[in-house]
Structure 1
């Protein structure tokens, strides 16, 4: 599998990962604003979602009872959403030379479906290789204490993240799993301490990304 940049396109593909409540979505928005202020051509997108078809699938997988889908069905739905997102949003933007900032990508599926929902990591990687075939150029992992993150996530008004309802044990396993992924894919991961104030985290994110662009 090749990264977006090494695949010959002119853009840059950046992703944010982390447990629920880690602040990654806020940091993705702040980075997008900062890059645009500096004159970079950047877009902000998310997963699941980011294209009309993928947004429809998002409502299927993130709303309703936590046991609504089997782990295998969930994996297929997320892969379908990602494929549509890739075709209709990510690849066209990269081809146009844009910076794509994505709130979650395949690493979240490696964790949520691959680790927590039935030990499907091998199937996740097989489907990813077959149907997606792209890794980010840079992944920013916002690391956060699981109990603190879950408390933040559950306090959000109108939260739709169904996986929050699996409870603190899942959050702990997800944090350990994301840190393991950061070691496995060390060349593209940067781990950032999310326990600090928002502006301090944002400053480190900007420094990392601007250094990468340079």
Structure 2
């Protein structure tokens, strides 16, 4: 089973994913955790280029193809092999991020983005996606605190530094996707305590696993 986590900056995707991974392992499941960009060797080279606030003059299309190069290799070398081995794969960001960030955010054609995503992934889509949603101002505040604590204000702050209008477009883009695909995308209120978020993610995951077993 393939599960992705999506949301604006500071939504708490990484925390929710780690908590769900731990809970699933305690229930006897084999779980692989990964992320984009950076879930494979190519992605670890591309991540600093894509996320560093000092990256200057990167065009929207160049940005897009760097993300897609990471995704194509990530699926080939990490995600598909893990799924074929019977693991539950949890991924911090996947194709929805491209539709929203490069589409709603950068203004690229969303239909073209869907087609090129399918090419990059070989048709792989998540079985379940958790959209952690919260107000933009709160998300950016959380992201700023996290980056200052981890010392990544510059090295991973490129998207954080975008305008409030950009981040509002991202949030609305995610909510529009969730409205289009309610069977796949579960909206989680990211203002809730972490334990409550985990319970909702775990409940939805177990329901999906039962559905696959039937």
**Is TM more than 0.5 here?**
yes
Given candidates 128, 138, 151, the residue that maps to 2:141 is: 151
Q: Could you list the per-position Cα deviations for residues 27-48 of structure 1 after superposition, in whole angstroms to 9, with x for gaps in the alignment?
A: 0010011111111001110011
CA distance in 2, matches of 1:179, 1:64: 27
1:141 aligns with 2:131: yes
2:53–2:157 contact (8 Å) kept in structure 1? no
RMSD between superposed Cα atoms in Å: 1.3
SS at 1:89 equivalent = helix
User: TM-score scaled by structure 1?
Assistant: 0.90
1:190 aligns with 2:186: yes
Residue 9 of structure 1: aligned partner:
none
CA gap of 1:47–1:18, structure 2 versus 1, over 3 A, is same
Unmatched tracts of structure 1, length 5 or more: 1-11
1:111–1:177 contact (8 Å) kept in structure 2? yes
Given candidates 159, 167, 192, the residue that maps to 1:171 is: 167
CA distance in 2, matches of 1:170, 1:28: 25
Shift of 1:66: 6.0
Matches within 5 A, 1:20-31: 20-31=9-20
Shift of 1:153: 0.5
1:66–1:165 contact (8 Å) kept in structure 2? no
Shift of 1:197: 1.1
Shift of 1:207: 1.1
Residue 114 of structure 2: aligned partner:
125
Q: Could you list the per-position Cα deviations for residues 98-126 of structure 1 after superposition, in whole angstroms to 9, with x for gaps in the alignment?
A: 00000000100111112211333233122
SS at 2:129 equivalent = strand
2:49–2:55 contact (8 Å) kept in structure 1? no
Shift of 1:142: 0.7
Moved over 4 A (4+): none
CA distance in 1, matches of 2:41, 2:192: 35
SS at 1:195 equivalent = coil
Count of aligned pairs: 203
Shift of 1:67: 4.5
Given candidates 25, 31, 35, the residue that maps to 1:36 is: 25
CA distance in 2, matches of 1:109, 1:67: 20
Given candidates 44, 49, 53, the residue that maps to 1:55 is: 44
User: TM-score scaled by structure 2?
Assistant: 0.90
SS at 1:113 equivalent = helix
Unmatched tracts of structure 2, length 5 or more: none
Shift of 1:87: 0.5
Q: Could you list the per-position Cα deviations for residues 107-161 of structure 1 after superposition, in whole angstroms to 9, with x for gaps in the alignment?
A: 0011111221133323312211222221100001111111100110111132314
